[in-house]
Amino acid sequence: MYTAPSSPHDSTTAIPPLLERRRFATQAELQAVVWWQLLEPAHRLRVAQDMMVGQVLAGELVCRTGRAPTFWFGLLEGLLKMSNDGSQGQTITFSGLVPGGWFGEGTLLKREPYRYNVQALRNSVVAVLPIDTFHWLLDHSIAFNRYIMNQLNERLGQFIAAREVERLDSPNVRVARSLAALFNPILFPVGGDKMLRITQQELAYLVGLSRQRVNEALRVLSLHGAIRVGYGGLLVSDLELLRRGTFETA
DNA sequence: TCATTAAATTGTT
DNA sequence: AACAATTTAATGA
């Protein structure tokens, strides 16, 4: 299913048709949203009326640096990559995004343009909540405020961890930490599932390594018993080891 | 349900 | 980057 969309790093990719061909969220989709469950009935109703869902094809951008903030985004299905274009044209990947994750709250809070690109690594389903609804929730729901506060705090920790990884770590450890980040229960509350559907090619785009190198790293990680690799995905068997382990050699 | 074929993904150089 | 090997998905009897 993965036909390298010319290059997920291609900045000439057209503006997302996410705004077109989208529909309202179904009841099942709403109930799968963790923070929606925290709201009281009146607040749930407003969200149900305003939240929409759209399809994003592999390679397309969900949001783009410099664009005015319009939505808070949630990934329902698929795989996204959050990155930034450095001053010399290098692409810096901050984080991968797996289903259950919501992003853009920092930008919406400040009402400033997005500071990163979010690109679909495969066909994905994305939910959007209008910025006005987002602020209305902040004004009316304590539960929502608490959720956002938690999320901001957790994301801060994730960025700090990402910086450390970026500097001093071996490819093996980079892959390990990047994988571990996808299992953050606060940012990606996906029901404690240790199973991750991701191809080695997708993971390669995520961590910025070649597929070959990722393949080798996964081999080492599984030798250490941190993960089990399978066709089209992997299983995390020791999350703590994945987070803290040093996988220097095989 | 099974066999066949195409497509996707992995393993290796 | 290229290629072979393996796994999955799709198709039709």
Residue type, A243: R
Task: Give φ, ψ of A24 to 5 degrees.
Answer: -75, 155
> How many Å apart are A172 CA and B8 C1'?
25
Looking at residue A3, its pLDDT comes to: 38
Residue type, A84: N
Three-class DSSP category at A129: strand
Question: Domain coordinates of chain A in residue numbers?
Answer: 18-163, 171-244
Residue nearest to nucleotide B8 (CA to C1'): A1
Angle at A1 between CA A9 and CA A59, to 5 degrees: 20
Task: Give φ, ψ of A25 to 5 degrees.
Answer: -75, 140
> How many Å apart are A122 CA and C1 C1'?
23
Residue A5 CB neighbour total at 10 angstroms: 16
Looking at residue A5, its pLDDT comes to: 47
- Mean pLDDT, rounded, of chain A: 89
Which strand B bases fall within 7 angstroms of a protein CB?
7-13
Residues 228-247 of A with CB under 7 A from strand C: 230-232
Q: What is the DSSP letter of A51?
A: -
Find the mean pLDDT for residues A25-39: 95
pLDDT above 50: residue A191:
yes
CATH architecture, domain A18-163: Sandwich (2.60)
> How many Å apart are A69 CA and B10 C1'?
40
Find the mean pLDDT for residues A163-171: 83
The nucleotide minimizing the C1' distance to residue A211's CA is B10
**Structural fold of domain A171-244:** Arc Repressor Mutant, subunit A (1.10.10)
The pLDDT-based confidence of A190 (bands split at 50, 70, 90) is confident
Find the mean pLDDT for residues A110-125: 93
> How many Å apart are A149 CA and C6 C1'?
46
Looking at residue A97, its pLDDT comes to: 94
Task: Write out residues whose CB is closer than 7 A to strand B.
Answer: A 1-3, 199-201, 211-212, 215, 218-219, 229, 231-233
Beta strands in chain A (DSSP E): 22-24, 52-56, 61-63, 71-77, 80-85, 91-97, 102-103, 117-120, 124-130, 195-196, 227-230, 233-236
Looking at residue A248, its pLDDT comes to: 82
Residue type, A38: L
pLDDT above 80: residue A21:
no
Residue nearest to nucleotide B7 (CA to C1'): A1
Q: How far is CA A1 from CA A4, A69, A218, in A?
A: 9, 31, 21
pLDDT above 50: residue A206:
yes
> How many Å apart are A202 CA and B7 C1'?
17
Looking up tokens 């009316």 gives: A140
pLDDT above 90: residue A95:
no
> How many Å apart are A235 CA and C8 C1'?
18
Q: Which among A64, A48, A52, A77 has a CA at the least distance from the CA of A16?
A: A64
Residue type, A162: A
Residue A243 CB neighbour total at 10 angstroms: 16
Q: Which two tokens stand for residue A59?
A: 């390679």
- The share of chain A scoring above pLDDT 70, in percent, equals 90
